[in-house]
Chain A
Amino acid sequence: ETGVTQSPTHLIKTRGQQVTLRCSSQSGHNTVSWYQQALGQGPQFIFQYYREEENGRGNFPPRFSGLQFPNYSSELNVNALELDDSALYLCASSFEGTGANVLTFGAGSRLTVL
């Protein structure tokens, strides 16, 4: 059973640029969520995808967008990067319908915006 894998592990961008982060869900999972963890903070929910559609969103602006593909892999896209976007971005997968909130997290992609 493979876990959640994310790429890249680290990247550096400059303000105003765009970034795409990728995630492969755990085998058998059909729901993916993305979280942002700023330094010294807990993870904060960005959005969730189920059946390739966004079905839940936290307090993040529209420049944060995502995709979920038929094979349940996922992308997080952030446009017009700002310095405050510097954070660890965590992808988490789960199986919708289990009635549980148990998420399987990847190790994250650390984004630095200069």
Chain B
Amino acid sequence: DQQVKQNSPSLSVQEGRISILNCDYTNSMFDYFLWYKKYPAEGPTFLISISSIKDKNEDGRFTVFLNKSAKHLSLHIVPSQPGDSAVYFCAASHQTGANNLFFGTGTRLTVIP
């Protein structure tokens, strides 16, 4: 039972353009959402998060949007850079501070120079 879904296994974007990665979830009890980035042969690294009391959080080139009614969140990267090429995982938890994260299957982003 996949509670967090990333339906696009891959995405290719030109350098300088916007990358939009999408994530859907089914469990309405989730109240904290995170994005992790993973390079080959490395562990996932935290990128950005958002609490369910917000609908947007920005950190430099990265913005996460949350639509609770649609149970949907997205990660926007503007402008995209070749170094952003990685696998991006969406994750969710039942409570802030809990380490039991539910991950999606990931989206491989390729930024073309």
Residues of A participating in the B interface, judged by any CB pair closer than 8 Å: 4, 31, 33, 35, 40-45, 48, 56, 58, 90, 92, 94, 96-108
CA distance A102 to B96 in the complex (A): 10
Which residues does chain A contribute within 8 Å of B93, judged by CB atoms? 101
A16 to chain B, nearest CB (A): 29
Name B41's contact: one of A4, A103, A107 (CB within 8 Å): A107
CA distance A98 to B6 in the complex (A): 28
Q: Decide: A101 near B44, CB < 8 A? Known: A42-B4, A42-B89.
A: no
User: A43-B101, A94-B99, A104-B46 provided; 13 other pairs, C-beta below 8 A?
Assistant: A35-B103, A48-B99, A90-B44, A92-B43, A98-B97, A101-B99, A101-B101, A102-B34, A102-B49, A103-B46, A105-B45, A106-B43, A107-B43
Bin chain B's interface residue count.
Answer: 20 to 34
The binding surface of chain A is classed by DSSP as: loop
Which residues does chain B contribute within 8 Å of A97, judged by CB atoms? 97
CA distance A82 to B79 in the complex (A): 45
22 contacts between A and B (CB under 8 A): A31-B99, A40-B105, A42-B89, A42-B103, A42-B106, A45-B100, A45-B101, A45-B102, A56-B100, A58-B100, A90-B43, A100-B97, A101-B49, A101-B93, A101-B99, A103-B46, A103-B99, A104-B43, A104-B46, A105-B44, A106-B43, A107-B43
CA distance A100 to B101 in the complex (A): 12
